[in-house]
Amino acid sequence: MAQHDYVIANGSGSAVRSDLNNALSAIVSLNSGTSEPTDTFAYMLWADTTAGVLKIRNAANNAWITLRELDGTLTIEGGSASTPGLYFAGDANTGIYSPGADQLAVSTGGTGRFFVDASGNVGIGTSSPGYALDVASSVAQVGAFADAFIQYKSTAGNWHVGASSSNAYTFYSGTYGTGTERLRIDSSGNVGIGTSSPEAPLEVVGSTDGDQLRVKQSGHYYRIGREGSGGHLEFYGSQSGYNGYIFSGANGERLRIDSSGNVIINGQGDLRFNDSDNSNWVALQAPATVASNVTWSLPAADGSGDQVLKTDGSGALGWATPLAQGSIITAATAVASTSGTSIDFTGIPSWVKRITVMFDGVSTDGASAYLVQIGDSGGIETTGYVSTGNTLNNAGGTAGNSSTAGFLINNGSATYLLSGIMTIVLLGSNTWVSSHTARVLTTNVQVGAGTKTLSDTLTQVRITTANGTDTFDAGNINIMYEG
């Protein structure tokens, strides 16, 4: 180790030679010593044997810059992003630096770009990487080739992902070049699973019949796929006792196929059958209110010509030959004539040709005659009748009355009980004729007849009294009608 002030003093020949030898010794030993030279110069080298490093004096000759270790190890300053410890000539803000202990970074243009932390995590665009590779950028490009992929390797196997020459983003299992494609997003945005040429936003191709797509929860699943033998679309539920399939939307559930295979249309929806060009349809629809569940079982075979479906009252439908026109008799529901001043029967079909009014022990609280009135969609008509009613007794006596307000049946006393029938028959052109026979006492019989032309088709019948104020207080009244 030698140091020198690099000033050769005057002296004898041997003294000058010794001083020169000391200066040369200092030069060849890089001014080595345990402490810095007493006399220093700009850009002077010093082998600091205490620190074990080689240093150079700065240009201002006021500090030392460490160059490297004396054992050959290269040591540079930690630096910063703007002044990296190792940089390139003419580009002092681009290079390598250390932002902290056990950290390495690369800067360009005075900004940190690439970072390796103490755990070995690599960050691009982030100085605090949280993963083995952490890229913080809105766009990260890998490669600029026809096929550009990133391969991921684990102890269980390899995957590689990237862009292919067909402008598609693809996922492969296995090593690049020999792996199997599992998923593809093509240039149109179509996603293909099991196919490299998807033709829809999502296309799934599987090798197992009826099992191309599964929806799974809590160990149970539904699968959807193409049933191979018949080419049908198959829906399958794996859970024992599953509840079927529900089709719903913003307005709630519209249709359900339950676990028994029953098809349920909610909200009084139609079951529609379109014609050949789908321009019109016919439909079946449930009524607005159903008192109890009803199931109709269809007949096992077709019927013969002109037969109609009928029910046995227990839900079994069968074929039957209808009665000839004019022989269909329909009874209305009997009404107790124990209150009110009139009793109406409405909703009579337009095809009716004959109406029978039946009286059973009917009475009122007065003696006013009974009137049977008819009406159409405009209401009950109370004028235009030509009607006569007579009372016959066993002594040969008679008494009679007439009315233009209705078909008249004589009464005579609040104690009389009327039992019998009045028949009203369509003559034609909305003209109806009537006749009646009834008893009121063991010795008295009521008979009579009349006619009335309505404004329109008959739809209703009313039973009331001539004065309109006597109140019914006993008996029952009903009607039957036929076509």
What band does 397 get if pLDDT is binned at 50, 70 and 90? low
* Residues 338 and 263 reside in one and the same domain: no
User: Does residue 19 form part of some domain?
Assistant: yes
User: What's the pLDDT score for residue 6?
Assistant: 86
Higher local confidence (pLDDT), 391 or 140: 391
User: What percent of the chain clears pLDDT 70, i.e. is strictly above it?
Assistant: 95
* Residues 390 and 478 reside in one and the same domain: yes
CATH number at residue 394: 2.60.120
Number of domains forming the structure of the chain: 4
User: What's the pLDDT score for residue 111?
Assistant: 94
User: What's the pLDDT score for residue 96?
Assistant: 94
The Cα angle at residue 368 between residues 367 and 370, in degrees rounded to 5: 120
pLDDT tens profile 134-189: 888 765 566 555 667 777 777 777 877 877 777 888 888 888 778 888 889 988 88
Looking at the predicted structure, is the pLDDT value of residue 325 above 60? Answer: no
Q: Whole-angstrom Cα distance, residue 429 to residue 457?
A: 9
User: What's the pLDDT score for residue 418?
Assistant: 94
* Residues 310 and 335 reside in one and the same domain: no
User: What's the pLDDT score for residue 242?
Assistant: 67
User: Does residue 419 form part of some domain?
Assistant: yes
Q: What is the DSSP letter of 404?
A: S
* Residues 254 and 382 reside in one and the same domain: no
Looking at the predicted structure, is the pLDDT value of residue 476 above 80? Answer: yes
Residue numbers of the domain that contains 22? 13-69
* Residues 441 and 469 reside in one and the same domain: yes
User: Does residue 427 form part of some domain?
Assistant: yes
Looking at the predicted structure, is the pLDDT value of residue 404 above 90? Answer: yes
* Residues 313 and 376 reside in one and the same domain: no
User: What's the pLDDT score for residue 377?
Assistant: 95
User: Does residue 135 form part of some domain?
Assistant: no
* Residues 388 and 423 reside in one and the same domain: yes
Higher local confidence (pLDDT), 425 or 216: 425
Q: Which of 368, 482, 467 is nearest to 418 (CA)?
A: 368
Q: Per-residue pLDDT averaged across 85-114, rounded? A: 92
* Residues 314 and 381 reside in one and the same domain: no
* Residues 310 and 276 reside in one and the same domain: no
Backbone angles phi, psi at 108, to 5 degrees: -135, 135
DSSP string, 121-150: -EEES-SS--SSEEE--S------SSSEEE
What band does 113 get if pLDDT is binned at 50, 70 and 90? very high
Across the chain, mean pLDDT equals 88
pTM: 0.41
Looking at the predicted structure, is the pLDDT value of residue 326 above 70? Answer: no
User: What's the pLDDT score for residue 443?
Assistant: 83
DSSP string, 177-230: TT-EEEEEE-TTS-EEES-SS--SSEEE--SSTT-SEEEEETTEEEEEEEETTT
User: Does residue 275 form part of some domain?
Assistant: yes
User: What's the pLDDT score for residue 278?
Assistant: 94
User: Does residue 165 form part of some domain?
Assistant: no
User: What's the pLDDT score for residue 139?
Assistant: 59
Q: Per-residue pLDDT averaged across 115-126, rounded? A: 93
Return the minimum-mean-pLDDT range out of 66-75, 211-220, 409-418, 436-445.
Answer: 211-220
User: Does residue 142 form part of some domain?
Assistant: no
User: What's the pLDDT score for residue 403?
Assistant: 95
Q: Per-residue pLDDT averaged across 204-223, rounded? A: 74
* Residues 417 and 466 reside in one and the same domain: yes
* Residues 378 and 355 reside in one and the same domain: yes
Q: What is the DSSP letter of 429?
A: T
User: What's the pLDDT score for residue 195?
Assistant: 87
Contacts with 84 (C-beta within 8 Å, 6 or more apart), sequence order: 92, 93, 94, 95, 96, 97, 107
User: Does residue 134 form part of some domain?
Assistant: no
Higher local confidence (pLDDT), 106 or 257: 106
Radius of gyration of the chain (CA): 56
* Residues 477 and 335 reside in one and the same domain: yes
Q: Which of 411, 459, 410 is nearest to 432 (CA)?
A: 459
What band does 126 get if pLDDT is binned at 50, 70 and 90? very high
193-198, Cβ contacts within 8 angstroms, sequence gap of 24 or more: 196/168
Looking at the predicted structure, is the pLDDT value of residue 215 above 60? Answer: yes
User: What's the pLDDT score for residue 206?
Assistant: 78
Q: Whole-angstrom Cα distance, residue 236 to residue 234?
A: 6
